[in-house]
């Protein structure tokens, strides 16, 4: 017999055997799908859990401010509110976090009972070292943000962007993005990007949200009553201190110089 006949015989046997095995196979297949589905769910749940719960913990490191600062206490003691310490310089630029020299105006020596203050005076004032404050609101370097345009011209409250930090009695933990080095406050506490307050998140969309609103107010230009010598080139220093800034054109270079 040729090998060809042998093969044909085998094929016949197989065809005959199939009907008896069919039911068993169906059950088995159902079971297999169940397992496959289970694995799908395991993968889904695990990755969701990782992405939502573990990933943020890995991405952000928890840092303590060098000195536990009591904003509420200071705001109560000064006259001008936020601007007492976070003031505008003569040229209109914003001073941001105070330098040591400014703190020393009051804290040349220990004034109160607070151990944190004593530590501040001993470790920084006495040694003349600047305090390496961690700035929650620091934006990436490519963002040009003039405080004066927003606070003085736009009449925005500090709290619109910074929240009620002025009422805090302790410095909260600074969560530093391990990859970018910026604070978690920029992306926001919520990983999904939900926000309840204007200050919960400070990504570009949040800036744009407000800028778009201003645009619809039909105010096309504003006049700044101060010199803008601090605006970097290529903007020439204007001859007068008055300058008109176009707020309608929402071009990229409004913030990205």
Interface pick for another protein out of 51, 81, 115, 225 (rule CB under 8 A): 51
As a whole number of Å, the CA-based R_g of the chain is 32
| Nearer Cβ to another protein (1/142) | 142
Query: 25-44: which residues touch another protein (CB under 8 A)?
Result: 31-32, 35-44
With residue 177 as reference, give the H or E element that holds it: strand 174-177
- Contact residue for another protein among 9, 25, 26, 52 (CB under 8 A): 52
Nearer CB in complex with another protein: 36/126: 36
Nearest to 255 by CA among 206, 217, 219: 206
Q: Does residue 241 interact with another protein by CB under 8 A? A: no
Do residues 223 and 243 make contact, with C-beta atoms less than 8 angstroms apart? Answer: yes
**Residue from the set 26, 89, 164, 170 that interacts with another protein by CB under 8 A:** 89
Give min distance, CB of 100 to another protein, in A: 13
Query: What size, in residues, is the chain?
Result: 257
The structure tokens listed for 51 are 């992405």
Q: How far is the CB of 198 from another protein (least distance, A)?
A: 20
Binding residue for another protein, selected from 50, 118, 129, 164, defined by CB under 8 A: 50
Under the criterion CB under 8 A, does residue 230 sit at the interface with another protein?
yes
> Could you say which residues in the range 126-185 bind another protein, by CB under 8 A?
140-142, 177, 179-182
Residue closer to another protein by CB (options 76, 234) is 234
Binding residue (CB under 8 A) for another protein from 70, 84, 93, 159: 93
Asked if residues 141 and 182 have their Cβ atoms less than 8 Å apart, the reply is no
> DSSP 3-state assignment of 223?
strand
Residue with tokens 């159902």: 30
The pairs formed by 154-157 with CB atoms below 8 angstroms and a separation of 24 or more are: 154/214
Q: What are phi and psi of 175, to 5 degrees?
A: -95, 110
Q: Which of 135, 149, 222 is nearest to 185 (CA)?
A: 135
103's CB contacts (< 8 A; 6+ apart) are 120, 125, 131
Q: 142 or 252: whose CB is closer to another protein?
A: 142
Question: For residue 177, what are the contacts with CB-CB under 8 A and spacing of at least 6?
Answer: 59, 60, 183, 184, 187
Q: Is 187 in the site for another protein (CB under 8 A)?
A: yes
- 95 versus 160: smaller Cβ distance to another protein: 95
- Residue count, binding to another protein (CB under 8 A): 41
Residues that bind another protein (CB under 8 A): 31-32, 35-48, 50-52, 55-56, 59, 89, 91, 93, 95-96, 140-142, 177, 179-182, 187, 191-193, 229-230
């Amino acid at each position: 017999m040729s090998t060809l006949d042998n093969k044909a015989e085998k094929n016949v046997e197989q065809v005959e055997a199939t009907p008896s095995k069919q039911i068993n196979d169906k059950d088995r297949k159902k079971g297999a799908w169940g397992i496959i589905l289970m694995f799908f769910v395991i993968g889904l749940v695990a990755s969701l859990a990782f992405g939502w719960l573990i990933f943020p913990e890995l991405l952000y490191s928890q840092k303590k401010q060098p000195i536990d600062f009591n904003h509420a206490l200071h705001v109560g003691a000064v006259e001008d509110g936020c601007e007492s310490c976070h003031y505008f310089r003569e040229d209109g630029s914003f001073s941001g976090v105070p330098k040591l020299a400014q703190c020393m105006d009051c804290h040349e020596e220990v004034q109160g009972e607070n151990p944190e203050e004593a530590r501040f005076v001993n470790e920084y004032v006495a040694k003349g070292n600047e305090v390496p404050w961690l700035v929650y609101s620091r934006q990436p370097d490519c963002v040009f943000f003039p405080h004066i345009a927003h606070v003085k011209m736009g009449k925005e409250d500090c709290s619109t962007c910074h929240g009620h930090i002025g009422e805090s009695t302790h410095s909260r933990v600074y969560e530093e993005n391990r990859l970018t080095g910026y604070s978690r406050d920029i992306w926001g506490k919520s990983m999904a990007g939900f926000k309840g307050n204007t200050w919960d998140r400070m990504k570009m969309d949040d800036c744009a949200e407000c800028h778009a609103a201003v645009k619809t107010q039909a105010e096309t230009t504003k006049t700044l009553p101060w010199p803008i010598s601090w605006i970097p080139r290529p903007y020439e220093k204007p001859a007068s201190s008055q300058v008109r800034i176009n707020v309608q054109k929402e071009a990229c270079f409004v913030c990205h110089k």
